[in-house]
Structure 1
């Protein structure tokens, strides 16, 4: 076992089971057993235990003003709070918690029955108005087996001419946003894989083309870097885009390697440290339930796991023989 894999395994079940699945040759039974532990111990159980009255922090997107945390919060109090229901469920999905576990089903039942959006009081799985929020809600709902058909149909009507989405479209913007687009794409992919009844593949591919045509971080018009913050890797990503999030999305889509990912992949590979890890670089400010890593500029197990998955996908695809006449997309 390599040193980097051993280091990744020396942590919470939320990371450990994904390492076993994606980076090792562990038997399926061992992977499943470790995944079950996510809801029963460590970070996953901590989050489940923090739910109250079908919500986290008393709200869907923002904590209720009258809510008082049962334990001290950590993080930057001047940033956005990441403790309400949407960011917490998003984190449980990142953990890969088993959607069928009884404790998880009970938590989702509570959300379905009691959690409503701050904007207009609609039920949580009916969605909100901003596509970045709705994309995250679709990803959560599809992952946990909830009906999000209504949100998906709304998102399909909101796709812009350039292929992506933007929360500012209602204010007149005709250009897509990387932040919003990646949130929607992750939702549509999860929905499609969950067997959603509304066809979304064409819309998803148009959204992917929006990112690929820009090499995941450059302007289509000038080739300039759109935002230098996107070159810094974070976890949890929240609603923010960065290059690692983009690469990990395309890894999850699978299929043959697209050469338009190569520049972003080079950036990823260059960021690997001598010890084999990747750093946490750009923690998004705000209060969180608890910290999972040692902080920015320190080795990050979450970023290392995600980066190694991308490297394995790339290297496996490049090593596979091509049929005569075949080429990259």
Structure 2
């Protein structure tokens, strides 16, 4: 067996089952058995154990400890919204008893701090709604109100922006990738419509016209941090996150070529890919023991399956 694959298989069940499926091509029953362990072992079990009986993680929906005025207001990744994002990434089986219980508590009890609406009705910012749509579609929750909000907020250039004040605003890579992932999850779950497919195609074209990294007007790199590989991605765009979306969407396009080669060049001498950018903020626990600049199982898994898809 390939030494890189052996290294990946020595990690958490959440990584192992995806390696077996995407890199090894293991039989379905072997993949399913390993995936089932996500709910009872390792990171998946840790994350599920952090959920309170009111459905929330760390006392908040988007911000932890929202009602506790003694806690500072800053970016943190410990609240419900980001816990759900992580459960999707880990691949918790939506049909498992643990997933049904966790998502049922969110559906029945969790409300947005913004206006008190139920979590799966969505909020107002497209980056937040895109991530909520991903979780809702993945776990089979009702998401029609989120979809309507996102379709109504698409900008003329094809993307989305959480800071858009009117239709003359330009889109954001960060907001757009969050929405695209949600629309793709809706398609995977069988809930897509002609309108959502049209919106997804336009959003993808927004990114493709910019080569995933550059300003359309000048060709300049939008932000050097977008070339850096990270996990968890939170609401941030980076080149690997963009490429992984197009892999899952099955849209191979020559405008991705430069981004693919940038990713390929990041492989280390042993075929592992580095963890380059930690999005700072408190976490419930770390899923990457490695420090920035060192090889990462998560990043390596995600990079290898993008490259295998592209090269196939």
3-state SS of paired residue (1:280): coil
- For structure 2, the 5+ residue unaligned runs are none
Aligned pair partner of 2:190 in 181, 186, 195 = 195
3-state SS of paired residue (2:148): helix
Q: Does 1:127 align with 2:122?
A: yes
CA distance in 1, matches of 2:73, 2:263: 30
Q: TM (normalized to structure 2)?
A: 0.95
**By how many angstroms is 1:25 displaced?**
2.3
In structure 2, do the counterparts of structure 1 residues 292 and 176 end up closer, same or farther at CA, with 3 Å as the change threshold?
A: same
Residue 290 of structure 1 corresponds to: 285
**By how many angstroms is 1:65 displaced?**
4.3
Equivalences, count: 307
Residue 104 of structure 1 corresponds to: 99
**By how many angstroms is 1:197 displaced?**
5.6
**Are the counterparts in 2 of residues 135 and 187 from structure 1 also a CA contact under 8 Å?**
yes
Residue 7 of structure 1 corresponds to: 7
Residue 41 of structure 1 corresponds to: 41
Residue 19 of structure 2 corresponds to: 19
RMSD: 1.6
In structure 2, do the counterparts of structure 1 residues 78 and 41 end up closer, same or farther at CA, with 3 Å as the change threshold?
A: same
Aligned pair partner of 1:168 in 163, 169, 183 = 163
**By how many angstroms is 1:174 displaced?**
1.2
In structure 2, do the counterparts of structure 1 residues 78 and 168 end up closer, same or farther at CA, with 3 Å as the change threshold?
A: closer
CA distance in 2, matches of 1:300, 1:55: 29
CA offset digits 1:271-327 (Å, max 9, x no partner): 0000111111110000001112222111110000000001100111xxxxxxxxxxx
CA distance in 2, matches of 1:311, 1:242: 16
Q: Does 1:85 align with 2:86?
A: no
**Are the counterparts in 2 of residues 131 and 165 from structure 1 also a CA contact under 8 Å?**
yes
Residue 219 of structure 2 corresponds to: 223
Aligned pair partner of 2:229 in 214, 224, 233 = 233
**By how many angstroms is 1:66 displaced?**
5.5
CA distance in 1, matches of 2:110, 2:286: 25
Residue 56 of structure 1 corresponds to: 57
Q: TM (normalized to structure 1)?
A: 0.91
| Match runs of 1:139-178 below 5 Å | 139-170=134-165, 174-178=169-173
Which deviates more from structure 2 when the two are superposed, residues 219-228 or residues 192-201? 192-201
**Are the counterparts in 2 of residues 153 and 198 from structure 1 also a CA contact under 8 Å?**
no
| Match runs of 1:289-328 below 5 Å | 289-293=284-288, 294-316=290-312
Residue 32 of structure 2 corresponds to: 32
**Are the counterparts in 2 of residues 162 and 210 from structure 1 also a CA contact under 8 Å?**
yes
**By how many angstroms is 1:170 displaced?**
2.8
**Are the counterparts in 2 of residues 152 and 198 from structure 1 also a CA contact under 8 Å?**
no
**Are the counterparts in 1 of residues 156 and 167 from structure 2 also a CA contact under 8 Å?**
no
CA distance in 2, matches of 1:102, 1:115: 19
**By how many angstroms is 1:254 displaced?**
1.2
**By how many angstroms is 1:171 displaced?**
6.1
CA distance in 1, matches of 2:17, 2:50: 22
**By how many angstroms is 1:259 displaced?**
0.7
